């Protein structure tokens, strides 16, 4: 959403009604007209729309954000608000207004079977994760043949050895990755990146690399693993993957931090624009203690919400990044015996 109307500002604290009494703590609704254009084409017009608001003098920009969140509109480019009128009456239950919405972070957990969806890329000898970083070297520390001299006849084992940079495959970034004084992998509690209520934000094929706050507005983000589905994983293993990837913007980070997201993941090369050396997304999220998972895959297999997300790394002291086996667990009432979606890489 490149604009929200003529007034981009928010409210400025306690307001007063025409009779001089403070309106703070009272319930108000705004009746207004709105014209919406979408990033993937088309538009929407409303006349006399009524929306619960926390303050009758809310700015047009904030009012437009509430409107988008309330309707759950996706891929919004612009919203223009006009003809507004404040109405003093009880809230009717608009999403996005404190005290009127269902609590965030809830997911349906039925009594049927469960399904596990693998969201990680396989790690292979010599593979490229990020252009310029060396691929993993996988081999034997003790081969099966050599082990026969160690164990009893008919008994053999293989002990493997891997040498790799920590940014290999699908991996998680802890605050230590960006900040010397931040928590490393061992210092983060395991519930930081396991059994999280998940939400998928779909932004594939929008024609824009930048994913801004407008893409996140329809969703409850508080306490959730927010997974950005760009569809870029289709280029994995090709030269195309390393160039022109989708990324989050700084204003999206402000919303994620402000709403208290638990973790943010993306199926792209980097959650930042790699042409920006300041890395504002890593900086903002990791400064707030929000881990980042990059190089996810298979997000098209997930519903928008109603699943649990897991991405646990080993507890390595002094390291800020490490590969994870990221996966989602969701209810599958159609088949308790179907345990896992087959991997596209198997």
| Separation CA 46–CA 30 (nearest Å) | 13
Q: What is the pLDDT of residue 272?
A: 98
DSSP secondary structure string for all residues of 259-318: HT-SEEEESSS-SS-TT-TT-HHHHHHHHTT--EEES---GGGS-SEEEEEE-PPP--TT
* Sequential pLDDT tens for the chain (346 residues): 445 543 444 333 334 444 433 455 578 889 999 999 887 788 999 998 989 888 888 999 889 988 888 888 887 888 999 999 898 887 766 666 554 433 333 333 444 578 999 999 999 999 999 999 999 999 999 999 999 999 999 999 999 999 999 999 999 999 999 999 999 999 999 999 999 999 999 999 888 999 999 999 999 999 999 999 999 999 999 999 999 999 999 999 999 999 999 999 999 999 999 999 999 999 999 999 999 999 999 999 999 999 999 999 999 999 999 999 999 999 876 544 443 444 445 3
| Separation CA 294–CA 263 (nearest Å) | 11
Q: Which residues share a beta bridge with 149?
A: none
pTM of the model: 0.73
| Separation CA 239–CA 148 (nearest Å) | 43
Q: What is the pLDDT of residue 102?
A: 35
Cβ atoms of 82 and 46 closer than 8 Å: no
Q: What is the pLDDT of residue 338?
A: 41
| Separation CA 179–CA 187 (nearest Å) | 14
Q: Are strands 225-229 and 196-202 parallel, antiparallel or unpaired?
A: parallel
Q: What is the pLDDT of residue 74?
A: 83
Distances (CA, A) of 165 to 222, 240, 299: 32, 22, 25
Task: For helices 250-259 and 280-287, give the axis angle rounded to 10 degrees.
Answer: 10
Q: What is the DSSP letter of 62?
A: H
| Separation CA 321–CA 168 (nearest Å) | 9
| Separation CA 219–CA 211 (nearest Å) | 14
């Amino acid at each position: 959403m490149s604009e929200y109307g003529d007034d981009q500002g928010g409210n400025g604290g306690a307001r007063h009604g025409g009779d001089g009494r403070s309106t703070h703590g009272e319930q108000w609704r705004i009746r207004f007209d709105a014209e919406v254009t979408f990033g993937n084409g088309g538009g929407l017009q409303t006349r006399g729309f009524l929306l619960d608001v926390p303050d009758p003098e809310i700015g047009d920009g904030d009012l437009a954000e509430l409107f988008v969140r309330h309707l759950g509109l996706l891929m919004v480019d612009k919203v223009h608000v006009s003809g507004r009128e404040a109405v003093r009456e009880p809230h009717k239950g608009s999403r996005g207004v404190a005290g009127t919405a269902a609590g965030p972070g809830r997911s349906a957990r039925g009594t049927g079977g469960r399904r596990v969806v693998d969201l990680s890329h396989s790690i292979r000898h010599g593979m490229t994760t990020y252009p310029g970083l060396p691929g993993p070297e996988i081999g034997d520390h003790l081969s099966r043949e050599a082990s026969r001299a160690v164990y009893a006849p008919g008994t053999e084992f293989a002990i493997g050895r891997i040498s790799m940079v920590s940014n290999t495959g699908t991996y998680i970034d802890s605050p230590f990755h960006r900040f010397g004084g931040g928590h490393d992998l061992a210092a983060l509690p395991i519930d930081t990146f396991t059994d999280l209520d998940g939400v998928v934000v779909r932004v594939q094929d929008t024609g824009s690399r930048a994913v801004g706050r407008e893409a996140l507005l329809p969703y409850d983000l508080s306490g959730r693993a927010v997974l950005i589905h760009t569809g870029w994983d289709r280029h994995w293993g090709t030269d195309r993957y390393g160039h022109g990837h989708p990324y989050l913007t700084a204003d999206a980070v402000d919303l994620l931090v402000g709403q208290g997201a638990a973790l943010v993941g993306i199926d792209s090369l980097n959650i930042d624009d790699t042409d920006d050396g300041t890395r504002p997304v890593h900086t903002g999220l990791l400064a707030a203690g929000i881990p980042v998972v990059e190089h996810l895959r298979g997000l098209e297999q997930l519903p928008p919400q109603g699943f649990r997300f897991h991405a646990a790394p080993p507890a390595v002291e002094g390291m800020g990044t490490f590969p994870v086996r990221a996966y989602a667990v969701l209810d599958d009432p159609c088949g308790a015996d179907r345990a896992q979606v087959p991997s596209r890489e198997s």
